[in-house]
A and B are shown apart, each in its own frame.
Chain A
Amino acid sequence: MELAHNLALGFGIALTPANLFFALAGALIGTLIGVLPGIGPIATIAMLLPLTFHVEPTSGLIMLAGIFYGAQYGGSTTAILVNLPGETSSVVTCIDGHQMARQGRAGAALAVAALGSFFAGCVSTLLIATFAPPLALVGQSFGAPEYFSLMVLGLIAAVVLAHGSVLKAVAMIILGLLIGLVGTDGNTGGTRFTFDITDLTDGIDVATLAIGVFGLGEIITNLSRPQEARSLVAQRITRLWPTRDDFRRAWPAVLRGTSLGSILGVLPGGGATLSSFAAYALEKKSSPYAAQFGLGAVEGVAGPESANNAGAQTSFIPMLTLGIPGNAVMALMIGALTIHGIQPGPQIMTERPTMFWGMIASMWIGNLMLVIINLPLIGIWVQLLKVPYRFLYLAILLFCAIGVYTVSNSPTAVLLAAGFGVMGFIFARLECEPAPMILGFVLGPLMEENLRRAMRISSGDATIFLQRPISLGLLIAAAALCVLVALPAIRSKREEAFQES
């Protein structure tokens, strides 16, 4: 009963007053930014990342994780009531969720979304607790060549599963890798791409890059678009509990959504958004009520909402066990670990068991808090939707500015972030996804280090990556993905998967 012992250890950590407070803070902030369109979990976590330096690493991680899965709860509220996705992972929830609301069944839709998310949260917390330790053991047996190949596979898979042009996404990864090299080379002591600016010799912080590209870039992009009209379903939400028929039809969809989301979350490039799109497609194809989809089918809410929460949580598995981020939020989590001087990787579980298990246990507690935050207190969040974006962005702008200043207490970081903001805006206009860039940025130094070590082991023979069986397998998988995505049939399917609405 290793698992029970570990979970008991975790709950002991997660239930301390301080950690309960940070879990609650994360859940509240997550719900808030989930409800509000125009700000997502990536920008929020980037803004708050520097502040976690002032608290215990475990508490900081608990809060940041809470923001990510809390946003999945909050996002559905806006989707159902306003027909506007609070988060990209709630885009498909708009379709049937808002129809239900217009038929006077907003309460039922909100309850199904929250309860489905809670179920998915419980299952995926258990999945992490079960599968993380064996995976970390596998990771511990990896040498430098295996790690390098694993990172190559992770990056390739991340762009294949993300949406948009694969070619541009790969170019964005390389760009991220290059930005990651800025600063002093740890091996030779030489400086690279610092342009003789002293503040750049320590490199660029991941928070600076993410606040610029995601936080400021999003503000500029949002402001340059005409404001969308919000059609809040005005009537009071009277009946929060779904009918028996709703329950009967929703629970199989919740099960399917949870399974699909849990699997897709573990894959690099997976996570909340992909999971919810895939779950909606699955429900639409498999449901006996297929004709009702788009007209307020409860499965169309239950499936994707369970899937996005499951996917958000299982995407922690590769980050916690192998140190490989599958999406931009996980890249920031790695940044949070590095702020505290913790080397991400398989050794975290054995070297810092209290942090590892405390964080996992806090996920279940956080989910429990979120059901309460989102169901009985729904009225408060609805009020928040009345705040116009022209006030909201001023607050976001300020938090970006202070957040980036506190990264290193240097004005240079603020100026850099302003530059990255312009960059983020240009990328958005050119349809270049910034998420792969962040992945490349975080993995850049690690990849270089492992490449160097591997080449030293093999005395400069690059075929070492093909001679080691595990490394070869990982590279073959990466190559296979590249070939697959180039096939016309797969390519059209991939585009279809992201164009559900």
Chain B
Amino acid sequence: MEKKAMRRADLITSVVLLIYSIGMFVMSVNLVLKTLSKGRMWYQSAGLFPTIVATFTFLCAISLMRTAFKDGADFSFLTMDNAKKLIKSKEFKVSFIIIGLLAMYIFILLPITWLRYEFSTFIFLFTFMIIFNKKDIKSIIKTIVICIIATGMLTYGFGQLAMIPLP
């Protein structure tokens, strides 16, 4: 990412980090208070280190924000136009697709218990490759062959050799 876009992204990150660190801080202090209320020492508390980490994260977030502002970023880029441009970009589409594929594999295909691992994996691999590969017959056949081999090896390697109950 070139610098300007980076700084804008940093700005958003710093806001997220601020919220995150404040949240963690509150939860951690709660833990410390709970410990004290049980009559134990402050240093025994599970909330001790998280409080420290939350504080440091907060400070880092502030510093990040400052650098972002200094380098010229501001919140004005948060417009609908820019958002639309982002969604149309190749990068976004590609990442969205891959993340979607992964989600489909992990949250849908594998948990379906009657759909055996071999098939889930084959579907995942095949869909993944087909989307990004050239769309001519030769490639499609190559893809199918590769998927079969790969699925076979994964299944054999983990299911038989390692004797793991496959998902």
Partners in one complex: no
